[in-house]
A = this chain, B = another copy of it.
Amino acid sequence: MASSPSQSNASEAVKRLPGEANTNFEDHRRIVLLTDGYSNPFVAKTAISLLRYRTSDIAAVLAGQTETKTAQKLLGAGGDVPVVASLSEVPDADAVYIGIAPPGGKLPDTWRPVLLEAIRRGIDVISGLHDFVTEDAEYRATAATSGSRLCDVRKNRFKNVATGQPFRPDCLRILTVGHDCSVGKMVVSLEVQRALQQQGLDATFLATGQTGIMISGRGIPVDCVVSDFVNGAVESFVRDNQQHDIQLIEGQGSISHPSFSAVTLGLLHGSAPQGLIYCYEAGRNEVKGLSSIPIPSHRELIRAYEVAANLRAPCRVIGIAANTRNLTSEEAGEELTQIRREFQLPVCDVYRTGPEPLVQAVKRLQEAVVNV
């Protein structure tokens, strides 16, 4: 797995869309990930993903009091990246990234001292939470003196309305869609994109959530855009990247999610993908974080996605990405076989079995729909 922002983005001048946050995190090479006590893979998913996809830019994980010495032992990713108890243990830190994604997005009060310490040292602070560091008077005043740059990845002023005009026909757009939140849509987009790149194709990753934005260097925090402008923000971002042959666009939420379906449809229609990769976590039957809300069947969801997508442009599900983290090896094998039979589509677990079936599905779609 690559350890720095996508090669295809690194050398491009980063042009900001009107309303996009002015972020500089692609410069950071000695990042401290602030997780302080949280190691649950859902809450700490930002830290875990940054350790996987920007390993060489991460100096340390700041986790408070713990016996565990390495990121790999504490969070399951990042190899020998050290776990530290204090910022003073990282004298050359250039940024602190908030590594947690708590529901509701509020910053724990217990972090105020360490964030102020970072800011006083001139260290940049990057946060993906809804609770904005850039609107805290004390952080701002301290940063004004020290030169520390504060950035809220979710903060935006997108005010553009989507036009619905067609994109460049030879730009293939693949969107990951899910049966729920936190099933691996970002990971699947990244893994498929990287595999395509390694095979010599011009494929780029389009981030739509705080973690993806921190990994790739830019993106649209769609869940934080005013609803009238979600489709428009996504459309602008896609259009801004349509010189690439293939876009792997990170999905958000689920079209059936009682809380977030608006975000999901705005992203689907704003990006008008020709192909969808349906992502799910094996064993999950109820909506995560809500009380007793069943998730519809895969069949019902795949149909709903295709019906909704085709209102906007021709589109179909081209493959299924199963997250089998809760299954044994044998159960995973059975699951993949059974799903493959039921839906007659390529199926894989991008971590356990590799993304190749999905990569091939993308290439087949490219041949079918794009004039090469």
Enumerate chain A interface residues (CB-CB to B < 8 A). 103-104, 130, 159, 161-165, 222-228, 230-232, 235, 255-266, 269, 287, 290-291, 293, 296, 300-301, 303-304, 307-308, 311-312
List the B residue with the shortest CB-CB distance to A253. Answer: B228
Contacting residues, chain B, for A225 (C-beta < 8 A): 226-227
Cβ B259 vs Cβ A161 within 8 A: yes
A164 touches B311 (CB 8 A): no
Contact of A259 among B130, B232, B293, B304 (CB under 8 A): B232
| Contact (Cβ within 8 A) A263 B228 | yes
B308/A255 in contact, CB under 8 A:
yes
Cα distance, A232 to B259, chains bound together (Å): 6
When C-beta atoms are compared, the residue in chain B nearest to A293 turns out to be: B164
A224-B223 contact given A164-B290, A258-B163, A258-B312, CB 8 Å threshold: no
Q: How distant is A211 from chain B, measured CB to nearest CB, in Å?
A: 15
A259 to B227, Cβ gap below 8 A? Answer: no
Distance between Cα atoms of A265 and B268 in the complex (Å): 12
Q: How far is the CA of A157 from the CA of B130 in the complex (A)?
A: 12
Excluding A231-B258, A232-B259, 9 further A-B contacts by CB distance (< 8 Å) are A161-B260, A163-B259, A222-B227, A228-B259, A255-B308, A262-B262, A262-B263, A296-B311, A308-B308
CA distance A163 to B72 in the complex (A): 35
Cα A261 to Cα B308 with chains together (Å):
10
A-B contact pairs, 20 of them (CB 8 A): A161-B259, A162-B258, A163-B291, A164-B287, A164-B293, A223-B227, A224-B226, A225-B227, A226-B226, A227-B227, A228-B263, A261-B269, A261-B312, A262-B262, A262-B263, A262-B266, A262-B269, A265-B265, A304-B311, A307-B307
Q: Which chain B residues lie closer than 8 Å to A231 at the CB level?
A: 258-262
Chain B neighbourhood of A301, CB < 8 A: 311
Is there contact, CB below 8 Å, between A304 and B312? no
- Most chain B beta-carbon contacts within 10 A, residue among A259, A264, A290: A259
Taking the closest CB of chain B, its distance from the CB of A234, in whole angstroms, is 9
Instruction: Please name all residues of chain B whose beta carbon is closer than 8 Å to the beta carbon of A235 when the two chains form the complex.
Output: 258
Closest-by-CB residue of B relative to A260 is B228
| Assembled-state Cα–Cα distance A296/B164 (Å) | 14
Q: Which residue of B lies closest to A103 (CB)?
A: B161
Most buried by B among A228, A235, A263: A228
B300 touches A311 (CB 8 A): yes
* 5 smallest beta-carbon distances between A and B, as pairs: A164-B258, A262-B266, A256-B311, A223-B228, A162-B259
**Nearest-Cβ distance from residue A313 to partner chain B, whole angstroms:** 9
Question: What separation, in Å, do the CA atoms of A104 and B163 have in the docked complex?
Answer: 13
Question: What residues of B have a CB within 8 angstroms of the CB of A258 in the complex?
Answer: 162-164, 231, 235, 269, 312
Q: Which residue of B lies closest to A232 (CB)?
A: B259
Which residue on B lies nearest to A268, using beta carbons?
B261
Residues of B within 8 A of A269 (CB): 257-258, 261-262
Q: B262 near A230 (CB under 8 angstroms)?
A: yes
Q: Which residues of B contact A163 (CB under 8 A)?
A: 258-259, 290-291
